[in-house]
Amino acid sequence: MTISPIGAAGVSSTGPLSAASRTAPAADSSGFAGSITKALDELDQLHSSADSFATQAATGELESVTDYLVAATEAQLATQVTVAVRNRAVEAFNDIMRMPV
């Protein structure tokens, strides 16, 4: 019996990936990471807004008290939501890490 040597037939080269398939991950603003970033930006905006109205109140420039109060309440609620999401994400991560492979 003749044993033919293993040839390269059928096995494609394991050379470098072609440029087409070597795409960098796109800045995907519609994905999960994108929406987290957007939410954090909005939260930052709310904090800045509340801070700015508080500073105006301190320098006597605030025209309407409700401007500050609404901004502060929105910042508080948004922070609570963001912290809750963060905590759930951390729990989920830990759950996954505990999974037996």
Partner 1 sequence: MTLAGMTSLTIQSALRGLDARRQAHEANVANVETPGYKARSVEFEAELKAALTHPRLVTRVTPNVNVSGEAGRANGNNVNIDQEMVSLTETALTQELLIRALNDRYGLLRTAAGNG
Partner 2 sequence: MSMFGSLGVSASGMGVYKTWIDAISDNVANINTVRPSDQPAFQRRMVVAQSVGGESGGVGDGARVAGIRLGDPEGRLRHDPDHPLADEDGNVRSPDIELSDEMTHLIVAQRSYQANVTVFERARDAYQRALEIGR
Residue 64 binding result from partner 2, partner 1, none, given CB thresholds of 5 to 8 Å by partner type:
partner 2
Phi, psi of 54 (to 5 degrees): -65, -40
How is residue 23 annotated by DSSP? P
Run of H or E residues at 95: helix 65-98
Of the candidate spans 7-15, 18-26, 59-67, 92-100, the one that interacts with partner 1 by CB under 8 A turns out to be 59-67
Query: What is residue 22's DSSP assignment?
Result: -
Contact between 70 and partner 2 by CB under 8 A: the answer reads yes
Neighbours of 29 (CB within 10 A): 10
> Least distance to partner 2 from the beta carbon of 57, Å?
7
Give the interface segment with partner 1, choosing from 1-9, 12-20, 32-40, 55-63 (CB under 8 A): 55-63
Residue owning tokens 């509340």: 50
* 25 scored as a contact of partner 2 (CB under 8 A): no
Of 80, 85, 84, 78, the C-alpha closest to 49 is: 78
C-beta of 25 vs 68, nearer to partner 1: 68
Which window, 4-12, 40-48, 67-75, 89-97, contacts partner 2 (CB under 8 A)?
67-75
